[in-house]
Chain A
Amino acid sequence: MSAENIIEVRIFEPNTSVLAELREFVISTGRLVGLAEETLRNIALAVDEAATNVIRHVASQHPCLIGCTCETNSNHSEVTYEISWDDTKPFNPSIPEKEVISQRIGTFTPGGLGIFLMHHLVDDIAFDYNNGKCVVKLIKRV
C-alpha cells in the first residue's frame, strides 16, 4: 500500500481523557474520505484500542505524545490511520486467535481483547519501528 495523501494529523496527550476526541477525529476525517458509518465506528474503536494500549503500557513508563494520522492511497481505495509514539522498543504484539479469546472470556481473564478487536475491525494491521518511533497502521480497504 502506498499511502500518499495525508488528510489530517493530530497530536494527543497520553491520557484517557483524550479518547473521545480521538474517536471524533477518526469519525470526522473518515467522513471526509467517504467511509460508511459502520466502518467509521469500527475504525474509531480500533484506534481507541491502539491508543489505550499506548496510554496504559507506554506512557505510564515514560512521557510520550500520541500522533494520529489519517491518510489515503493515490486512488482512495485504502484509508490508513497511523498511531505513533516515541518508545525505546518496538511494539509488535501477537494477535490472539478467536478460540483463545473465547476461552479467556469463559475463564474471565480479559488479556488480549483490545489487540483482538483491532485485528478484526480493520482489514490489515502493520507495525513499524524506526529511529525510536513506534507506528501502528490500521488499514481499511474502501
Chain B
Amino acid sequence: MATTPSQFTAVETASPRADLSVIALSGQLDAHTAPEFERFLEQEVRNENKHKLILDFSALEYISSAGLGVLMGFIEEVRSDGGDMKFACVPEKIYHVLDLLGFPVVFTIAPTVDEAAVAFTN
C-alpha cells in the first residue's frame, strides 16, 4: 500500500504591515518537500527582495532537519540585508524539534503573527 508522498505548501498571506511578508506554511516539510520550500524562499528573498519574513507555522504538521536546513540557509542572507525571519504560531510538536536543536536561541518564536510583527520593531 503506497502512501501519497509528503505534501507541503508555502503561500504569502495578509500582512499586518506593508514592510513585512507573512508566509503560511502547511503540510509536511521533509527531504521530499524541502527543495520546493527552498525555491519559494529564493523567489521571495532573492527575486522579490523581501527580507523581513514572518513564517506562520500554524498549519505545519511535520518538520525534519531537511526543512530546518532550508531556514538556516536563508537566515544569514536576510539578516545581512537588514531583515530577519521570525516564527509565529508554532505547534507544540514542531516546537519540540526546534527546541531540541536550539533554534529558540537564534530565532524569535512568537505566539501570534501580530506579536512576531511587533518583534520586528524591537
| B106 pairs with A45, CB closer than 8 A | no
| A117 pairs with B75, CB closer than 8 A | no
Partner of A105, one of B5, B31, B103: B103
Residues of B within 8 A of A4 (CB): none
Does A102 sit within 8 A of B, measured CB to CB?
Answer: yes
What is the CA–CA distance of A101 and B72 in the complex, to the nearest angstrom? 12
Among B11-19, B40-48, B94-102, B110-118, the one that faces the other chain is B94-102
Partner of B72, one of A38, A109, A120: A109
Q: Quick one: which of B1-36 are within 8 Å of A by CB?
A: 2-6, 28, 30-32
Interface residues on A, range: 20 to 34
B interface residues, how many (CB within 8 angstroms): 27
- Kindly count the residue-residue contacts between A and B in the assembled complex, taking CB atoms under 8 Å apart: 82
| A110 pairs with B65, CB closer than 8 A | yes
| B72 pairs with A108, CB closer than 8 A | yes
What is the CA–CA distance of A91 and B101 in the complex, to the nearest angstrom? 23
| B106 pairs with A106, CB closer than 8 A | yes
Partner of A20, one of B32, B73, B76: B32
Q: Which residue of A lies closest to B93 (CB)?
A: A41
Q: Quick one: which of A24-54 are within 8 Å of B by CB?
A: 24, 38, 41, 45, 48-49, 52
25 contacts between A and B (CB under 8 A): A16-B6, A16-B30, A16-B31, A16-B32, A17-B6, A19-B6, A19-B31, A19-B32, A20-B28, A20-B30, A21-B3, A24-B3, A49-B65, A55-B31, A105-B101, A105-B103, A105-B106, A108-B72, A108-B73, A108-B75, A110-B72, A110-B73, A116-B100, A117-B100, A120-B100
